[in-house]
Amino acid sequence: MSLIADHSQATQLIKPLVALLAIINPLGIVPVFLALTEGFTPEQRKRTITTCSISAFLVIAVSALLGTRLLQFFSISLPSFQVGAGLLLLISGIGMLNATPTAFRSTPEEMDEAEASRSIAVVPLTVPLLTGPATISTVIVYADKDRHWPSLLVLVGYGVVAALVIAAAFRAAEGIAGLIGKTGINIMTRLMGLLIAALSVELMSEGLLKLFPGLGH
């Protein structure tokens, strides 16, 4: 029994990291990264990767540490937020299943402005492409489940892992694009979309059961 309990605890502990990496899906952003950094020197591209990774970490860390306080400030209950976050995740997952950008991507005007100013590391690469509303809401939901500092620091640590994965994917972007091609990236995106869709149903069901306890009977 203890082994089963330990396995269950380990699964719950690692679930936020799996969700984060699935939602962020840096492999799916590789083609966009290459397009936006076309013509960059190696040094410019390296700076862009560094800025993007640090920005992604900061978004995740701030969401983990301050997200629940924002909910309290606006008097939003966690169950309501869980249902809303689940809907966002479901929309994101459906878009990924179709291997198409979701509604949370940048508008053409934002993309044009970013390319014109060459400040694409934060907008649109970090927000909203990598750490958009779905990522932020997911971190807040998991942070609210256990507000003790050790658990919050684990979430912040997952932000570090996510930042490192983003940096590694972007540094190897040209090799990845050449190795698996657009078809391979689309397949990976669809697989991540399926995982996100499943996680979204779990989030919404938890929230709905808390809002309407009678549904559990």
The 10s digit of each residue's pLDDT in 124-152 is 789 878 998 789 988 999 998 878 899 99
126 falls within a domain:
yes
> CB–CB of 173/33 below 8 Å?
yes
Domain count, the chain: 1
1 falls within a domain:
no
9 falls within a domain:
no
**pLDDT tens digits, one per residue of 186-214:** 887 788 788 878 888 888 898 899 899 88
3 falls within a domain:
no
